[in-house]
Chains A and B, each alone.
Chain A
């Protein structure tokens, strides 16, 4: 039983999580704690995006608006109602409700359209959110943004590290359950062939809207965590830049795998960090997005399943060849 559960990938995964859990006690570096915390937060964000792109096959260019709603909810509640746990809880509740409502409305209005139009409309709607945040200065302080205090216990970087790690693992488990449920199977069917799924009697719009609500809520939660670690918020959390980041992470890591989001987030955060340091050597490293843009185009064209998906294919092929070899030897 234990042997069957502990396949090689699962053992590796477990080891990585154990390593991450003891890391703060071994490595005494504030810098790395913060960097890894960012990796966890963006991993949640990327996994939520994977529900849309990888499991349902819909391309949204407005995912940052849910991230931004989460970040702004925490910031505004902390700013207005004091830095107590009560208001933090209320902010998280508000995030869940708001992201669910917004994603349901946007989904109901736009998901019946062709993929082209959907991508475009989500881009437009998230643009509207940026405009609202810029103009509604009384609450959002416009483009400059504002800083705010958070509950004292959460100011400790190690605490935030563990919270974010914990949230990432929980998200991974919940979303994994979700995608392996009968509901998730229908989403896969929609990704593969929407018309056929519809003719099998499934209300595809309903499934797609629920998928976008799930994705929106988890993106909102990652936004909450982001605001808590930064203790500052401005309109960039709603910008296309964050959508692009999450797109790169999901695509390069591997769509339709969930783990791809985690790997992509780690890869992009770390490489970004090293390349920005290299900017002193040569200015081209300042524009690290060129590199990622090119990698991204190549991945979409040549490895549409990303790193994790391609590795899995390679693994499956190897096992198949090995099996065939054994069979010819025995038979």
Chain B
């Protein structure tokens, strides 16, 4: 029972982190038709920025803010100078965002060094509660809480505000939205920055969760986010949230029971979905 609950919490926490990455990826794809191969790089930047700020100031809240700000700023620069010139050209987009991924990763190595960096944990989130013989690690519950809050916020914005209405309409039919007199380019930039900020938030939460960060986490979590986006359906945020939880839980349980297969299972799941249901498991549009 103890093991089961722990794996559950672990899986949910990982799922939430992947969701933060996948949410931006999926909206950006749905709205702008851009698959951002550098999204994992923003995650890694968030992690490093957060750990560095926390190590130098000791203020956890500030480290989260700094990471999100760094992510959004990078997102702004990327959209404005790198992705904008290649809208509509898929091959160039894939190539160029991969180039950005290389530069982002190498910059991390150049600034913070190639060795893994230890990530500190604030005192109020350290430790665990023991309820009825089950150990609940505080920080993991905190990640789950933040993930749920972000999901609720995204859901609220997308379904209860005018901005969300425009975004959803844009995912369905860009040209129509443009024809109705809405500046879709501005919307693109906003969505890209929010997506980048969410990825960075995922990164900063990831730091203390794993205890140590390195430049490779961007690529690793980027691939997981792709898998989630494919399973959930491109452009479908709620589908992504469900898929992230599935992938997170599958990863946690597989890593405990059959560690050799943990990565393979997710890849196979993605392959099957792409072959038999390319629109994703959830939501049947497109």
**A residues less than 8 Å from B86 (CB atoms):** 300-301
Bound CA span A135–B258, Å: 13
- Which residues of B approach A to under 8 Å, CB–CB? 29, 35, 37, 82, 85-86, 90-92, 94-96, 98-100, 102-103, 106-107, 109-110, 219, 223, 226-227, 230, 260, 263-264, 267, 270-271, 274-275, 278
Asked whether A266 is an interface residue with its Cβ less than 8 Å from the other chain, the reply is no
Per-position 1/0 for A231-253, Cβ under 8 A of B: 00000000010001001000100
- Which residues of A approach B to under 8 Å, CB–CB? 57, 59, 61, 109-110, 113-117, 119-121, 123-125, 127-128, 131, 135, 240, 244, 247, 251, 284, 287, 289-290, 292-294, 296-297, 300-301, 304
- Extra contacts, 7 of them, besides A284-B110, A290-B106 (Cβ < 8 A), are A115-B91, A116-B90, A128-B267, A131-B263, A292-B102, A297-B99, A301-B86
Is the pair A117, B230 in contact by a Cβ cutoff of 8 Å?
yes
**A residues less than 8 Å from B91 (CB atoms):** 57, 59, 115
Bound CA span A57–B90, Å: 10
- Given the interface pairs A131-B263, A290-B103, the reply to whether A59 lies near B94 with Cβ below 8 Å is yes
Is the pair B223, A294 in contact by a Cβ cutoff of 8 Å?
no
* Between-chain CB contacts (< 8 Å), 14 pairs: A57-B91, A110-B274, A113-B274, A116-B90, A120-B35, A120-B230, A121-B270, A121-B271, A123-B226, A244-B102, A293-B106, A294-B103, A297-B103, A301-B92
Name the CB-closest residue of B to A134.
B260
Name the CB-closest residue of B to A123.
B223
Is the pair B95, A124 in contact by a Cβ cutoff of 8 Å?
no
Q: Chain B's nearest CB lies how many Å from the CB of A126? A: 11
Pick from B29, B82, B106, B109: contact of A297, CB under 8 Å: B82
**A residues less than 8 Å from B274 (CB atoms):** 110, 113, 117, 121
Is the pair A116, B267 in contact by a Cβ cutoff of 8 Å?
no
**B residues less than 8 Å from A125 (CB atoms):** 267
Is the pair A304, B278 in contact by a Cβ cutoff of 8 Å?
no
Bound CA span A61–B98, Å: 10
**A residues less than 8 Å from B98 (CB atoms):** 61, 244, 247
Say what secondary structure dominates the interface of chain A.
Answer: helix
Is the pair B260, A119 in contact by a Cβ cutoff of 8 Å?
no
Pick from B90, B267, B278: contact of A115, CB under 8 Å: B90
Pick from A120, A131, A293: contact of B103, CB under 8 Å: A293
Is the pair A113, B278 in contact by a Cβ cutoff of 8 Å?
yes
Bound CA span A169–B245, Å: 52
Is the pair A109, B94 in contact by a Cβ cutoff of 8 Å?
no
Is the pair A296, B99 in contact by a Cβ cutoff of 8 Å?
yes
Is the pair B82, A109 in contact by a Cβ cutoff of 8 Å?
no
- Given the interface pairs A244-B102, A297-B82, the reply to whether A290 lies near B94 with Cβ below 8 Å is no
Closest 3 CB pairs of A and B: A293-B103, A293-B102, A297-B99
**B residues less than 8 Å from A301 (CB atoms):** 82, 85-86, 92, 96
Bound CA span A250–B219, Å: 22
Bound CA span A289–B108, Å: 12
Bound CA span A297–B97, Å: 8
Is the pair A290, B263 in contact by a Cβ cutoff of 8 Å?
no
Is the pair B95, A290 in contact by a Cβ cutoff of 8 Å?
no
Is the pair B270, A251 in contact by a Cβ cutoff of 8 Å?
no
Name the CB-closest residue of A to B104.
A293
Is the pair B99, A293 in contact by a Cβ cutoff of 8 Å?
yes
Bound CA span A289–B105, Å: 10
Bound CA span A193–B86, Å: 18
Name the CB-closest residue of B to A136.
B260
Is the pair B95, A247 in contact by a Cβ cutoff of 8 Å?
yes
Bound CA span A120–B29, Å: 14
Bound CA span A293–B96, Å: 9
Bound CA span A247–B37, Å: 14
Q: Chain B's nearest CB lies how many Å from the CB of A108? A: 10
**A residues less than 8 Å from B92 (CB atoms):** 300-301, 304
**A residues less than 8 Å from B267 (CB atoms):** 124-125, 127-128
Name the CB-closest residue of A to B90.
A115
Of the listed residues B99, B107, B109, B223, the one surrounded by the most CB atoms of chain A closer than 10 A to its CB is B99
Bound CA span A155–B29, Å: 52
- Given the interface pairs A128-B263, A284-B110, A290-B110, the reply to whether A117 lies near B278 with Cβ below 8 Å is yes
Is the pair A296, B102 in contact by a Cβ cutoff of 8 Å?
yes
Bound CA span A235–B69, Å: 37
Name the CB-closest residue of A to B37.
A119
Is the pair A300, B264 in contact by a Cβ cutoff of 8 Å?
no
Bound CA span A124–B247, Å: 15
Is the pair B94, A297 in contact by a Cβ cutoff of 8 Å?
no
**B residues less than 8 Å from A289 (CB atoms):** 102, 106
**B residues less than 8 Å from A293 (CB atoms):** 99-100, 102-103, 106
Is the pair A127, B223 in contact by a Cβ cutoff of 8 Å?
yes
